[in-house]
């Protein structure tokens, strides 16, 4: 094997790829050749490093120099200065420094409170090279399972680890496997839910892009545990990089004898296929997903019977999401006690969150269960930008709820989030600041669920639309307090009567915002005001005559001719003509225009 003196890791995740990381790799190859370093330095395309806010990211080892916001035109300087002369390009460094030494990544604020288990190989290996995965103990767990353990042994280890499903519901993984193992059937299936549909969520996509073999190996282990010989990864077609890397990884595993017939000479067979989803959120529900794999319209089925007994093609089936599978091999290799030592009493291990919204450090974070929201937002996330105050965080996407500032110090785990009116979901975490209207947020998520409802059951199909109509009335200042009572009644009806979790959890954003931000609803209804200044129909743009210098810029940009006044004299806005577009406020250099 060839030995290189330096390795240059280039993020190949979706975020960095969209910002030009492929061009950076091309420039690296060209400049390494130009300076005669192509035999000394290896370029490694990796998955996501996590800190998406500062991509594209390039890391040079052995120094560990962490370069951020790298552009193709920066590459020659990195090659000629750092790789040729050994001089770190300090202007591109993202990590903190101690004297002349580069601080290790694990000591940087964004990383030091994280514990990477599911993300252990993301940003570390080339996901398109099976040898690099094997070098990181890849397929060691599968070998151990097939040669040293019975299916019952495997299930026992997963049970003792305390791993719960990372797809949202938090059902114990070992118990699910045990049900399917004990189910009677001439054919069994293993499925992976990679149909990540929550707005702002990109955890599963990043694992598939950065470490696809971890999911493949885990699915083979699950198949052995329940007695299956065939599996499907259901991934949305909007994830082209993840799909391509899965195809490459499956082909490599088959070539190495790690998928297919007689795996590792043990007589165990497992065939794995990919099925592309068309982006229907309802297909995140397990029975709808299986219906879609079967070639039918993705609609949920009544339960029972549960998939462990009658799932895909009416055969016993287990379905776990990407992150759940990404934990399996580490549990087998390190032992259930190791995994159970992290987290809380009822929520073991770590959880990956896609941190977004009004936050400094947008990206992927993996923290031990029990970490507080404050630690994630303020220490890992770097806080809310522009000096704004934290107002709430939305977890669980359209199925979750909003957590207010009063619960910043609640340890995050499955049970605590449910207790305060939210849920874990798959792991989206959207931060909101003081400029966010909570009624508008609830309306945004209802718009999403209305669009994504499959329409099979009346409570969800009709109920979500009626809820959205009421929320729209509230944001327009046209609602009454009786509408608020009706909204709460609809919430309870949907929770109790919808067929699947999409409808049952659709009211959660409304319920949680009513619970913690009821005063905002009342302000919209009674005072006809939006306290955050977001809902256009309730806004008025005004000019402070004491600050207005009469520069005329506002009147020139107003598309409706709503602003009048003479040069060097205070101007006025005609509320009847004003379109509330905000163009005047953006142009004003003196802060004279405000909204209320």
pLDDT digits (tens, 9 = 90+) for 172-217: 999 999 999 999 999 999 999 999 888 888 999 999 999 999 999 9
- Specify whether the CB–CB gap between 203 and 353 falls below 8 A: yes
Residues sharing a CB contact under 8 Å with residue 77, sequence separation 6 or more, in sequence order: 89
pLDDT digits (tens, 9 = 90+) for 442-464: 999 999 999 999 999 999 999 99
Phi-psi category of residue 362: left, alpha or beta, with phi > 0 → left and psi -120 to 50 → alpha: beta
Residues sharing a CB contact under 8 Å with residue 378, sequence separation 6 or more, in sequence order: none
- The Cα–Cα gap between 451 and 464 comes to 10
The continuous run of DSSP H or E covering 251 comes out as: helix 240-255
Which tokens sit at 473?
Answer: 């009335």
Which tokens sit at 578?
Answer: 């004003």
- The Cα–Cα gap between 582 and 589 comes to 14
Which tokens sit at 314?
Answer: 């009416």
pLDDT of residue 564: 93
pLDDT of residue 197: 81
- Specify whether the CB–CB gap between 357 and 125 falls below 8 A: no
Write out residues in the chain with pLDDT < 70, as ranges.
1, 95-103
Phi-psi category of residue 455: left, alpha or beta, with phi > 0 → left and psi -120 to 50 → alpha: left
**DSSP letter string, 39-94:** TTEEEEEE---S-GGG-S-EEEETTTEEE-S--GGGHHHIIIIIIHH----GGGB-
In order of their start, the domains of the chain are 6-112 (3.40.30.10), 130-339 (3.40.50.11540), 350-433 (3.10.20.600), 438-527 (1.20.1440.230), 540-595 (3.30.70.20)
Which tokens sit at 283?
Answer: 């297909």
**DSSP letter string, 270-311:** EEEEEEEE---GGGGSHHHHHHHHTTS------SSSPTTTS-
Query: Secondary structure of the chain: what % helix, strand, coil (to 5)?
Result: 45, 15, 40
Residue 404 pairs in a beta bridge with 392
pLDDT of residue 108: 79
């Amino acid at each position: 094997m060839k030995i290189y003196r330096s390795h240059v890791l280039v993020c190949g995740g979706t975020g960095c790829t969209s910002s030009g990381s492929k061009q950076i790799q091309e420039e690296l190859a060209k400049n390494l050749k130009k300076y005669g370093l192509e035999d000394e330095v290896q370029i490694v395309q990796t998955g996501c490093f996590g800190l998406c806010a500062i991509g594209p990211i390039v890391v040079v080892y052995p120094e560990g120099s962490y370069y951020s916001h790298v552009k193709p035109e920066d590459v020659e300087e990195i090659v000629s200065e750092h790789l040729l002369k050994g001089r770190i390009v300090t202007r591109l460094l993202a990590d903190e420094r101690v004297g002349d030494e580069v601080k290790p990544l694990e000591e940087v604020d964004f990383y030091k409170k994280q514990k990477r288990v599911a993300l252990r190989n993301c940003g570390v290996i080339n996901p398109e090279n099976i040898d690099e995965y094997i070098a990181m103990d890849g397929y060691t767990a599968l070998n151990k399972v097939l040669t040293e353990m019975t299916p019952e042994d495997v299930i026992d280890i997963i049970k003792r680890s305390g791993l719960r499903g990372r797809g949202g519901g938090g059902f114990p993984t070992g118990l699910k496997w045990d049900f399917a193992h004990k189910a009677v059937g001439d054919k069994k299936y293993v499925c992976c839910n990679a149909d990540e549909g929550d707005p702002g969520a990109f955890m599963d996509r990043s694992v598939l892009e950065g470490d696809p073999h971890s999911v493949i190996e885990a699915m083979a282990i699950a198949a052995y545990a329940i007695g299956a010989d065939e599996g499907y990864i259901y991934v949305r077609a909007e994830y082209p990089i993840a799909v391509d890397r899965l195809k490459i990884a499956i082909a490599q595993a088959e070539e190495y004898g790690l998928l297919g017939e007689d795996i590792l000479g043990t007589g165990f067979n497992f065939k794995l296929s990919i099925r592309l989803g068309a982006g229907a959120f309802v297909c995140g529900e397990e029975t709808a997903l299986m219906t879609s794999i079967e070639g039918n319209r993705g609609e949920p089925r009544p339960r029972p019977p549960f998939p462990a007994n009658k799932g895909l093609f009416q055969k016993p089936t287990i379905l776990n999401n990407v992150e759940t599978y990404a934990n399996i091999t580490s549990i087998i290799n390190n032992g259930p006690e190791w995994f159970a030592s992290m987290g809380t009493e009822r929520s073991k291990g770590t959880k990956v969150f896609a941190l977004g919204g009004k936050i400094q450090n947008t990206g992927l974070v993996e923290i031990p269960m029990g970490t507080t929201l404050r630690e994630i937002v303020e220490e890992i996330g770097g806080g809310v930008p522009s000096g704004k105050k934290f107002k709430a965080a939305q977890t669980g996407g359209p199925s979750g709820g909003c957590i207010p500032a009063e619960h910043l110090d609640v340890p995050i785990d499955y049970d605590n989030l449910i207790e305060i009116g939210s849920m874990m979901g798959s792991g989206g975490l959207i931060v909101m600041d003081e400029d966010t209207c909570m009624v508008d947020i609830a309306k945004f998520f209802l718009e999403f669920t209305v669009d994504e409802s499959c329409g099979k059951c009346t409570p969800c199909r009709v109920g979500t639309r009626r809820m959205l109509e009421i929320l729209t009335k509230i944001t327009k200042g046209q609602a009454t307090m009786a509408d608020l009572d009706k909204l709460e009644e609809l919430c309870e009806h949907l929770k109790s009567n919808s067929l699947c979790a999409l409808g049952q959890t659709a009211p959660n954003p409304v319920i949680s915002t009513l619970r913690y931000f009821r005063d905002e609803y009342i302000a919209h209804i009674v005072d006809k005001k939006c306290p955050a200044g977001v809902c256009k129909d309730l806004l008025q743009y005004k000019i402070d005559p004491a600050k207005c210098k009469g520069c005329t810029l506002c009147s020139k940009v107003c598309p409706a001719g709503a602003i009048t006044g003479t040069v060097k004299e205070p101007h006025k806005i005609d509320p009847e003509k004003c379109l509330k577009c905000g163009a005047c406020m953006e142009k004003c250099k003196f802060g004279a225009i405000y909204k209320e």
